[in-house]
Amino acid sequence: MNNIEVKTQPYSDQRPGTSGLRKKVAVFQQENYLENFIQSIFDSLEGYQGKTLVVGGDGRYYNRHAVQVILRMAAANGFGRILVGRGGLLSTPAVSCIIRKYQAFGGIVLSASHNPAGPDGDFGIKYNIGNGGPAPEKITEAIYRKSQQIQHYRIADCGELDLDTPGEQQLGSMHIEIIDPVSDYAELMQHLFDFDRIHSLINSGLFSMRFDAMHAVTGPYAVEILENRLGVTPDALMNAEPKEDFGGGHPDPNLVYAKQLVDALFAANAPDFGAASDGDGDRNMILGHRCFITPSDSLAVLAANAHLTPGYHRGLAGIARSMPTSQAADRVAERLGIELFETPTGWKFFGNLLDAGKVTLCGEESFGTGSDHVREKDGLWAVLFWLNLLAVRKESVQEIITAHWRSYGRNYYSRHDYEAVNADGAGQLMDTLRKANGSLTGNRYGDYEVAFCDDFSYTDPVDGSVSEHQGIRIGFTDGSRMVFRLSGTGTEGATLRLYLERYEPDPERQLLDAQDGLSELIRIGEDIARIRHYTQREAPSVIT
């Protein structure tokens, strides 16, 4: 086998976002585009020669080709060993699990998460560091700088490698091991949760459930864990076969894109429990019989009940949530006497807190929840956590959330997404709000008076790094608030997100539909930001 150097030229658009580099497949198919970015990752790292790299992705279109390229480039750049999920498949939390278990140098995750797939869809690449978590900004910025200077890339001159046969292969001096994508992760889940108790619940004849894998990577994980180990019947698993185009669907587990599951759970003869995961397996949606649990409430419920599970029975060190996530978990942290950390959006911000032992559970409103077991959010983990609680408490999902609200109060909460809007208009909206920060304080809008308005900035309590311009917050004197952010996960135009929150302590007023409970705040948010004017949209694309 020969290693060759191929001359190339930089592409100007290879700056990683909050979750790596995401572009249309056609962009990655440009000459040397994929190779440039992979070489830029390797060029930004030090001390990896002879070390182990983990590689896998969500199975979307272009996944297998990218794995082949990465293996050949890793060999040419001096890695000693590669662990690859069979067929090129690994969920994002499984990559983190494997990096940590085998003390790998790092890993490359191939995914555009919850974005659509196929030849006309999206593709993405993310580098994870040795703790199993997403690369911090200092590394992603180094990758970008290297991508702007690149003149050549190194690659092994060889044919296609076998990605489907378990076992070891040799590529020059580099060992390649094709591993079961599920087994290490399933073993970790069995350690954290009471599988015997969950198995008894599922096989009691008194409980039914549905899990929607959305034709994405969690299909094989659901079959092995939920069906083979916990006894769920095959008909309870929906869309469990991974497909390169996710079956033509949008693998985002929310009330709009997981409509098939939502319809099943809100039918007259609905199952007791429903859940879905996304393209790469790191997000989750939790449903009960005619009952939707917001991700913010889910984090709070898990934190309040963590002592009921084997993995967390000793208590929590702390809780972290992203700034736009509701303050429901704050009330749990206060009662437990533990610290609550508010971070910018992006799972990488939880990494330092987890590594320092400051937090045990963390979550984002964007359907992501996780803990210190890995350094990524973890969809199936959250599903198993809920199943463990249902098995122990012997109550329905609705009964658990209603009891939680009675005890802690309810944070009415919703997110309104305006997807693929004109980027210039969305940018002008944010700039206008930013300039109005000082002048909004004291203004009255109906029953609400503005207490503060700021552009959220975060100083990491572990390393002192500062992240600015993380979202415009408008807080009101009664504790209600709204947040405006531009999302960095899309590949077309811009996505404007409006987050709305109102606290309700009175149990008699806690059972409204969220949109009804927030109706006045929704109107105020649209008026303050002039959303229709700047987006040319009459309504959000998605409401969750």
CA-wise closest residue to 389 among 289, 296, 306: 306
The residue with tokens 């122990």 is 392
CA-wise closest residue to 382 among 317, 329, 307, 303: 303
Q: What is the 3-state secondary structure (H, E, C) of 19-36?
A: CEEEEEHHHHCCCCHHHH
- Specify the pairing of strand 448-455 against strand 472-476: antiparallel
Are the C-beta atoms of residues 354 and 287 closer than 8 Å to each other? no
Residue among 44, 91, 113, 480 flagged as catalytic: 113
CA distance 159 to 523: 60
- Specify the pairing of strand 466-467 against strand 458-459: antiparallel
CA distance 338 to 319: 8
Locate 194 and state its tokens: 């009471």
- What is the H or E stretch that residue 525 is in? helix 519-529
DSSP string, 424-460: HHHHHHHHHHHHTHHHHTT-EETTEEEEEEEE--EE-
CA-wise closest residue to 350 among 54, 199, 131, 86: 131
Are the C-beta atoms of residues 494 and 422 closer than 8 Å to each other? yes
What residues contact residue 506 under an 8 Å CB cut-off, 6+ apart?
A: none
The single-letter code of the amino acid at 227 is E
Are the C-beta atoms of residues 459 and 344 closer than 8 Å to each other? no
In a 13 Å sphere around the CA of 480, the CA atoms on its Cβ side amount to 22
Are the C-beta atoms of residues 299 and 318 closer than 8 Å to each other? no
Q: Mark whether 113 is an active-site residue.
A: yes
Name the DSSP letter for residue 261: H
Q: In 10 A of CB 152, how many CB atoms?
A: 15
Rg of the chain over Cα atoms, rounded to whole angstroms, equals 23
The single-letter code of the amino acid at 394 is K
In a 13 Å sphere around the CA of 226, the CA atoms on its Cβ side amount to 31
Q: Classify the phi-psi angles of 214: left when phi > 0, otherwise alpha if psi is within -120 to 50, otherwise beta.
A: left
CA distance 370 to 11: 35
Residues assigned a catalytic role = 113
